[in-house]
Amino acid sequence: MTSITQALALYDMAGQINRLRFQLRALPAAPAIPHLDSVTAQVHTLAGILTAVSDQVSHRLDLSSADAKKAVVAYSGALAPLGEAMTELGRLQAEVTIFNFTTHPSYHNSPSDLERQRRHVSEIITGCCDAADEILEVAADELQAAAVELASPPARVQAAAPARTPGPVNSAQAHPAPATPPPAAAPRAAKSR
């Protein structure tokens, strides 16, 4: 795999993470409780991303190029924050499930108690979503930074570029003497008639 291919794969993975962040932001805002199906879909999406990142690490372990090793380090570094985000989404899913199947039926006949419970659960859900968003942002940013590093030309090529630029041969060419202005034209004599 070329460094560009490695960089594109990292950038694509960062894009998947950012899409998940946007999906999380699209969940209903407090005090609404998101639908369990929507939350479960986000958990499945993140599980797919975690699996894909783990597969990328496994796929590159046998590759010996320096670029492959950099990609393995970048993917491996993303596993921990993705795991933390999964914990937050797991808490989110648990809170929505408990509210729908335990809290709501228990307080169904007491609207004021149900509303108090809804606000409490809504605060937890908001905290989980915010934490997951921040964690996912870090993971995506790190993958994008690794992609940029892999896509950049090697430092030795950049360092050699100025050396190939032709420079002045001697100091006289480097600092030419200022041009002298042309001599002033002699005034014309008036034509006699």
Q: Mean pLDDT throughout 47-54?
A: 97
The more confidently predicted of residues 190 and 47 is 47
Reported as a pLDDT band with limits 50, 70 and 90, residue 106 is confident
Residues 92 and 132: beta-carbon distance below 8 Å? yes
pLDDT (tens digit, 9 = 90+) per residue, 121-164?
A: 999 999 999 999 999 999 999 999 999 998 886 644 444 445 44
The more confidently predicted of residues 85 and 171 is 85
The proportion of the chain whose per-residue pLDDT surpasses 90, expressed as a percent, equals 61
C-alpha separations of 125 from 45, 94, 111, 118, 158 in Å: 18, 10, 20, 10, 49
Quick check: 169 pLDDT over 80? no
The more confidently predicted of residues 176 and 56 is 56
- Please count the residues of the chain: 193
The predicted pLDDT at position 154 comes to: 63
Residue closest to 85 by CA, chosen among 20, 175, 9: 20
